[in-house]
Chain A
């Protein structure tokens, strides 16, 4: 069981945002989608999480098609959007319980799950703090914990470390490394270090198209470059010339 993306395409009023994207992501893999602003990363996530219908193409998410059976796909995944999507006037604990409940937990189960995740994500001492009072790093941790509380098989993290300071970023990386291997993680970013620190495999996206796919080692071999930065520049420069 895997994620098989086939010729996935999305156009907005004639402008192409995701352009015949095809790739396969294995179960339990930590996959990073790397690309500049406007590359089509968020649109790809919206398509894969059934928030948007593709213009053409399809993706089979652990056996179910996003086109044919979006309701089944939705049950398997959760998402931490680019903007953290935390309820401002709800406490950390209430935010977590709320998501647990809309995914079907009763009061007791929701509380248990919230406690477990606050523990895991280092949020226990902020359980009663309102969403709007959290720092960027804590807000992002809460955002990811909210996505984890529905016990998804696939989690999407859209640019999770944008705007974080160094320490908050490193803390978050540690949390993500702890999640690694437990579920399928698809992370988007434009930070190269993040990809190197976290990902099993990398897809480089530019102007809606996938320009390279593989482990860091494979990409180095393909391009003859030693640094991810140079690999990225080389691959996207080819696209600029075309």
Chain B
């Protein structure tokens, strides 16, 4: 109950920030549109809507990391967290309260990107329905990174960390170019991180290639569990002063 009250506050705090709409929605849709236009003149199929839309949805999730991290960072610097630490809420209430409101935002991002892709001419397939489920799980990874950044860094540091994070998540994910085009160490490093796996899983599920979803999702979920674990540990430590 307290977690839900806190989640409601966090939802309002995020949705009433114009940055949420700008970066969380407008920017990804704009990129979807721009890159899909480029696809016509490209010799490879990376920017066709079928490959682009699933990857851009994952790209839009990186802003979820920013929103979560910034919110927690600000709550620390404004002592808002101190105020609610003084209340009888438990650590799990806080983390659930921060994480929960991001799920509907992820859902909005999924539907907005997918809807836009349909408008741009991508044919509808029934695979979109399980894809929403898979993408919701993927969004937890990005929520987890947000909790992690917010717990360990100040709001200003979160801004700087995010600049690095968004570069890693996009360049090492195969969204803008095929990773095996570069190959070698670069590709190996990319596949040691979860982001390329997240994009692979998203593309596979939208393509109806269910067999290719499982292994990448194992990577994603393992990373999610570890990141959440570290965030919870750090948060509890902070609560104790």
**Chain B binds chain A:** yes
- Cβ of A101 within 8 Å of any chain B Cβ, yes or no, is yes
Q: How many residues from B make CB contacts under 8 Å with A?
A: 24
Beta-carbon nearest neighbor of B17 in chain A: A89
Instruction: Determine if A90 and B12 form an interchain contact, defined as CB atoms under 8 angstroms apart.
Output: yes
Q: How far is the CB of B22 from chain A (nearest CB, A)?
A: 15
B85 neighbours in A (Cβ, 8 Å): 51
Q: Which of B2-10, B100-108, B190-198 contacts A (4 or more CB under 8 A)?
A: B2-10
A99 neighbours in B (Cβ, 8 Å): 83, 87
Contact of B241 among A52, A80, A98, A102 (CB under 8 A): A52
Instruction: Determine if B13 and A51 form an interchain contact, defined as CB atoms under 8 angstroms apart.
Output: no
B77 neighbours in A (Cβ, 8 Å): 83
Within 8 A of B (CB), among A15-36: none
B80 neighbours in A (Cβ, 8 Å): 85-87
Instruction: Determine if A89 and B88 form an interchain contact, defined as CB atoms under 8 angstroms apart.
Output: no
- Cβ of A49 within 8 Å of any chain B Cβ, yes or no, is yes
Instruction: Determine if B78 and A84 form an interchain contact, defined as CB atoms under 8 angstroms apart.
Output: yes
Within 8 A of A (CB), among B26-79: 74, 77-79
Instruction: Determine if A89 and B79 form an interchain contact, defined as CB atoms under 8 angstroms apart.
Output: no
Instruction: Determine if B2 and A51 form an interchain contact, defined as CB atoms under 8 angstroms apart.
Output: no
Residue of A88, A90, A99 most packed against chain B (CB within 10 A): A88
Q: How many residues from A make CB contacts under 8 Å with B?
A: 33
Contact of A88 among B5, B6, B74, B241 (CB under 8 A): B74
Instruction: Determine if A102 and B2 form an interchain contact, defined as CB atoms under 8 angstroms apart.
Output: yes
Contact of A79 among B8, B86, B89 (CB under 8 A): B86
Per-residue interface assignment for chain A, residues 48 to 65, with 1 indicating a CB less than 8 Å from any chain B CB and 0 otherwise: 011111000000000000
Instruction: Determine if B82 and A103 form an interchain contact, defined as CB atoms under 8 angstroms apart.
Output: no
Beta-carbon nearest neighbor of B16 in chain A: A89
Which residues from chain B sit less than 8 Å from chain A, CB to CB? Answer: 2, 5-6, 8-9, 12-13, 16-17, 74, 77-80, 82-89, 240-241
- List 18 A-B residue pairs with CB atoms under 8 Å apart, sorted by A's residue number: A49-B86, A53-B240, A53-B241, A74-B87, A75-B88, A78-B86, A81-B79, A82-B79, A83-B77, A84-B78, A87-B9, A89-B13, A94-B12, A98-B5, A99-B83, A102-B2, A102-B87, A103-B88
